[in-house]
């Protein structure tokens, strides 16, 4: 047997630790659990023919084990003799080994002649050999066989639909053959990698995928959102819901670099807006500059690109604290981002007076550190030891959250961070909502320019 074949050998262990004589029903259950029900292993078997044949030890008895449990020994031998209804037998010349192959599954049971004291010249089943994925599916049963057939039919349909459209008219026959072989391999691997998605596809979904792929071109989005992509016959919701498998197939057939950049970037489309933040103008003047809107939601990406019309920008960890504020001169508040402060690297913030106000706990101080790493000129508000000591009776416990020292805190802030973690105060957390309004107004008014 070749080294490639040897690499596919596995010794399945029965769940009955130390019990010899693996029966067919147990072997099938172990095969199902170890291979078919483990997606990573199953995909490997489907994509790599060198994993076969699988050679499974049936744990034949050794020493006096057969004599000590003659009933199990008889069941063990009889069950494998009855493994196939019409076996084909062949004897390896000079080896003393006999193989019994099932006409139904293609799997082979290897037999050896062994002697046990009062049991002389007994034919013992020692190994089960499974030559390929089709044989494994047939062995496991009709459900797995139908499942494999379903996958292969879908893959065959996509091969016929997609590869016929991928050849260039400007290459010769030899080049076309090499290109086709490479596409075969990459496309097959891409489909196997997304076996779960393929499993869910109905025939209509397969047709949509086949109609979509020839239309996709690098840069065709020209900066639009994915849902606005100009494709015919195929709805863009289908693209959005099946982005990963489409990306892999595009990489297999059109451009290998798609895997590095991502399909959205390759198409030159914008990501769907996410990380929505609450924006609230805090005076009549700034409200007027925002078209009279008292509240609006903007995505992080939008905030990075468009300047808010106020001299003072107050970033607040929690929305409830933001909603409580009003009548703050030339100020717009941005809240609800929590840990999402990536937008604060926006260039337009450099010309603003920017404040940050969050909970006084390990996580709040870590967010302050992250915000300062994006914008070094930021001013923390009401996030100091004085505030902690003033309202000590309002502090509450904090679950273990951040243990590593944040890198962008000042020395004073870092002392506070470590003090909170070491239980030097009445509690580990002082929520910003627990501060009285007069205290909040006093500190914000002192910060405003």
337-362: pLDDT as tens digits = 989 999 999 999 999 999 999 999 99
- pLDDT, one tens digit per residue, over 205-264 is 999 999 999 999 999 999 999 999 999 999 999 999 999 999 999 999 999 999 999 999
Quick one: pLDDT band at residue 171, thresholds 50, 70, 90?
very low
Average pLDDT over residues 91-105: 49
Cα gap 337→299, rounded to integer Å:
10
Terminal Cα-to-Cα distance of the chain (whole angstroms): 82
Cα gap 247→235, rounded to integer Å:
16
Residues 6, 12, 17, 19, CA torsion sign: negative
Cα gap 446→449, rounded to integer Å:
8
- % of the chain with per-residue pLDDT over 70: 85
**Partners of 90 in the beta sheet?**
99
* Residues 6 or more apart in contact with residue 113 via CB below 8 angstroms: 96, 98, 121, 122, 123, 124
Cα gap 183→189, rounded to integer Å:
10
pLDDT attached to residue 155: 94
- pLDDT, one tens digit per residue, over 249-281 is 999 999 999 999 999 999 999 888 878 999 999
The C-alpha torsion from 143 through 147 and 149 to 150, rounded to 10°, is 130
Indicate the pTM of the whole model.
0.66
Q: Residue 13 to residues 19, 58, 135: CA-CA distances in angstroms?
A: 9, 9, 21
CB 276 within 8 A of CB 334: no
Cα gap 312→352, rounded to integer Å:
6
CB atoms within 10 A of CB 325: 19
The C-alpha torsion from 301 through 304 and 307 to 311, rounded to 10°, is 130
Beta strands in 117-185 (DSSP E): 119-130
φ and ψ at 99, to 5 degrees? -115, 140
pLDDT at 185 > cutoff 90: no
Q: Provide the 3-class DSSP secondary structure of residue 119.
A: strand
Q: Give the residue among 362, 353, 360, 363 at the shortest CA–CA distance from 333.
A: 353
Query: In the predicted model, what is the mean pLDDT of the chain?
Result: 86
- % of the chain with per-residue pLDDT over 90: 70
What size, in residues, is the chain? 449
């Amino acid at each position: 047997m070749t080294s490639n074949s040897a690499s596919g050998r596995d010794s399945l262990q029965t769940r009955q630790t130390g019990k010899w004589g693996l029966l067919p029903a147990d072997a099938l259950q172990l095969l199902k659990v170890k291979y078919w029900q483990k997606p990573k292993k199953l995909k490997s078997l489907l994509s790599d023919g060198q994993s076969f044949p699988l050679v499974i030890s049936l744990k034949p008895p050794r020493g006096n084990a057969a004599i000590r449990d003659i009933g199990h020994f008889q069941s063990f031998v009889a069950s494998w003799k009855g493994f196939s209804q019409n076996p084909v037998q062949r004897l390896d010349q000079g080896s003393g080994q006999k193989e019994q192959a099932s006409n139904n599954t293609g799997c082979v049971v290897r037999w050896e002649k062994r002697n046990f004291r009062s049991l002389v010249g007994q034919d013992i089943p020692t190994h089960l050999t499974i030559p390929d994925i089709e044989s494994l599916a047939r062995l496991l049963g009709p459900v797995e066989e139908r499942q494999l057939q379903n996958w292969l039919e879908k893959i065959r349909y996509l091969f016929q639909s997609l590869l016929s459209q991928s050849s260039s008219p400007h290459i010769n026959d030899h080049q076309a053959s090499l290109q086709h072989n490479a596409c075969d391999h990459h496309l097959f691997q891409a489909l196997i990698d997304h076996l779960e998605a393929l499993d869910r596809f109905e025939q209509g979904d397969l047709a949509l995928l086949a109609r979509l792929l020839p239309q996709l071109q690098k840069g065709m989005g020209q900066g639009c959102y994915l849902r606005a992509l100009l494709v015919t016959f195929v709805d863009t919701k289908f693209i959005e819901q099946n982005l990963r498998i489409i990306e892999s197939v595009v990489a297999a057939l059109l451009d290998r670099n798609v895997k590095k950049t991502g399909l959205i970037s390759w198409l030159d489309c914008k990501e769907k807006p996410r990380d929505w933040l609450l924006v609230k103008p805090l005076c009549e003047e700034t409200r007027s500059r925002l078209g009279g809107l008292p509240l609006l939601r903007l995505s992080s990406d939008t905030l990075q690109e468009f300047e808010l019309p106020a001299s003072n920008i107050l970033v607040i960890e929690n929305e409830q604290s933001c909603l409580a504020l009003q009548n703050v001169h030339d100020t717009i508040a941005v809240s609800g981002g929590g840990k999402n402060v990536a937008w604060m690297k926006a260039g337009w913030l450099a010309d603003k007076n920017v404040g940050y106000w969050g909970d006084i706990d390990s996580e709040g101080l870590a967010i302050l550190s992250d915000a300062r790493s994006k914008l070094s000129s930021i001013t923390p508000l009401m996030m100091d030891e004085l505030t902690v000591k003033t309202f000590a009776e309002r502090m509450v416990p904090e679950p273990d959250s951040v243990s590593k020292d944040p890198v962008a805190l000042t020395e004073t802030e870092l002392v506070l961070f470590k003090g909170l973690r070491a239980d030097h105060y009445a509690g580990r957390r002082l929520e910003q909502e627990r501060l009285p309004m007069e205290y909040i107004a006093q500190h914000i008014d002192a910060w405003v320019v």
